[in-house]
Structure 1
Amino acid sequence: MNKDIVFIVLTSFWFLFGLIGCLAAKHFKERGVIRCCIILSAVCCWLLWVVTFLMQLNPLIGPRVNQRVIYGMMSYWKNSYMQDE
């Protein structure tokens, strides 16, 4: 699935969650507190998701492997670069 489609779908999900929650809060006595809790939970859940999503798009840390280990992987794996030659 395309990353833009995933971003739009899940952002719209959390937006609709907050909107429907605010509309449902009109039926309760403490509607201000309920609206605040629903909007705060929607924003925090969206923020948690978007930070995780963006961290997976461009990771800052990659695996660090010794040069001997890389040579060993290239020489022992059947589909490696050295076996193709």
Structure 2
Amino acid sequence: MGASVVPIAVFTVFWGVIGIVCPIFAPKGPNRGIIQVVLMLTAATCWLFWLCAYMAQMNPLIGPRLDNDTLIWMAHAWGNPYKQ
């Protein structure tokens, strides 16, 4: 599995709309600035968290730990010769 441009673009547009477009429609009042900042910070942090989680899947630090019996069965099922 490799990185794809489509999910990155879709989530960037989604969180961009939340962080850039939604603050424009914040209700008028004494707390409008706070609501706008909250929307922008929420969008930025959620996008960054999603990006880190997505990129961590590209090259995981820890791989699956399999028993020797499982490896032998996988080699047999996939038609690969198992050499001891």
Q: What is the aligned partner in structure 1 of residue 66 from structure 2?
A: 65
Give the structure, 1 or 2, with the largest relative contact order (CA under 8 Å, sep 6 or more). Answer: 2
Unaligned 5+ runs, structure 1 = none
TM-score w.r.t. the length of structure 1 is 0.75
State percent identity of aligned pairs: 31
Q: What is the aligned partner in structure 2 of residue 39 from structure 1?
A: 40
List aligned pairs for 1:1-85, cutoff 5 A: 3-25=4-26, 27-29=27-29, 30-75=31-76, 77=77, 79-82=78-81
Question: Quick check: which one's helix share is greater?
Answer: 1
Unaligned 5+ runs, structure 2 = none
* CA-based RMSD: 2.1
Q: Where has structure 1 moved over 4 Å in runs of 4 or more?
A: none
CA–CA distance in 2 between the matches of 1:10 and 1:69?
38
